Amino acid sequence: MLSFPLLVVNFKTYSQGTGEAAVKLARIIEEVAKANGVSAAIAVQPFDVRWVAKTVDIPVLAQHLDPVTPGSNTGWLLPEAAKEAGAVGSLLNHSERPLDFEHVAAGVKRLHELGMVTIVCAKDAETAVKLATLNPEAVAVEPPELIGTGRAVSKVKPEVVSESVKRIKTVNPRVRVLCGAGVSSGEDAALALKLGAEGVLLASYVVCAKDQRAAVEDIIGGMLSFKK
């Protein structure tokens, strides 16, 4: 369901990535990614999963799901409902929706039972290695202090990316490593891949851009420049 190297755009709850705007942005990302032969996935709000998934063919992820089964779980996000709506998996443990380790472990297990994928977020290399033992499809290393700042971890703290890649591959070689936090240019994306990451997870640079298509083209151009 996920192919690498991978661009993941998290729409968060920005108005530019909500409702009709989410559908429009999803189409842009799909068009640019397919035109350039690059794999892309998007993480959208629960209310938009079904609408967006019916519109595009690229993988659609939930931004969070809970490790519950059908029943008395008022207010929780049921994985079966997300899957039925068209989500192929979910982000887990984003710094804006942090979870304890046991909750993440239960979430990864629950989604895997349904044949769904997980991208687990980690604040640092140590956390990333611990989470990799849960066998998610990918771990996204995102120092929270850099998220949304425009200061890319691949430039400001490159050792976090390279150390995470090295240690994760030692613990669990099958887990893919994504680079997130502050990625805001094609150069940032290219550097992340050079450091060993197998993709990037970003949000505001694309979602909040005045020209969203140009922003997506910039990031994908950076990823392609490294491949060359």
Identify the active-site residue in 30, 31, 84, 94.
94
Please indicate whether residue 142 is annotated as part of the active site. Answer: yes
Please indicate whether residue 94 is annotated as part of the active site. Answer: yes
Identify the active-site residue in 142, 159, 198, 217.
142
pLDDT at 227: 62
* Pairwise CA distance, residues 48 & 59, whole Å: 14
* Pairwise CA distance, residues 48 & 189, whole Å: 27
The answer as to whether 47 is a domain residue is yes
pLDDT at 86: 98
The answer as to whether 1 is a domain residue is no
CATH code for position 206: 3.20.20.70
pLDDT at 65: 98
CB contact set of 81 (below 8 Å; sequence gap of 6+): none
The answer as to whether 200 is a domain residue is yes
pLDDT at 12: 98
List pLDDT tens digits, range 87-132.
999 999 999 999 999 999 999 999 999 999 999 999 999 999 999 9
The answer as to whether 100 is a domain residue is yes
The answer as to whether 184 is a domain residue is yes
Name the amino acid, one letter, at 134: L
Per-residue pLDDT 10s for the chain (228 aa) are 899 999 999 999 999 999 999 999 999 999 999 999 999 999 999 999 999 999 999 999 999 999 999 999 999 999 999 999 999 999 999 999 999 999 999 999 999 999 999 999 999 999 999 999 999 999 999 988 888 888 888 998 899 999 999 999 999 999 999 998 889 999 999 999 999 999 999 999 999 999 999 999 999 999 999 865
pLDDT at 152: 86
HEC profile for 34-91? HHHCCEEEEEECHHHHHHHHHHCCCCEEECCCCCCCCCCCCCCCCHHHHHHHCCCEEE
Count structural domains, the chain.
1
Range of the domain at 13: 6-227
**Pair of tokens at residue 210:** 């005045």
75: left (phi over 0), alpha (psi -120 to 50) or beta: left
CB contact set of 90 (below 8 Å; sequence gap of 6+): 43, 61, 62, 63, 64, 65, 79, 82, 107, 111, 116, 117, 118, 119
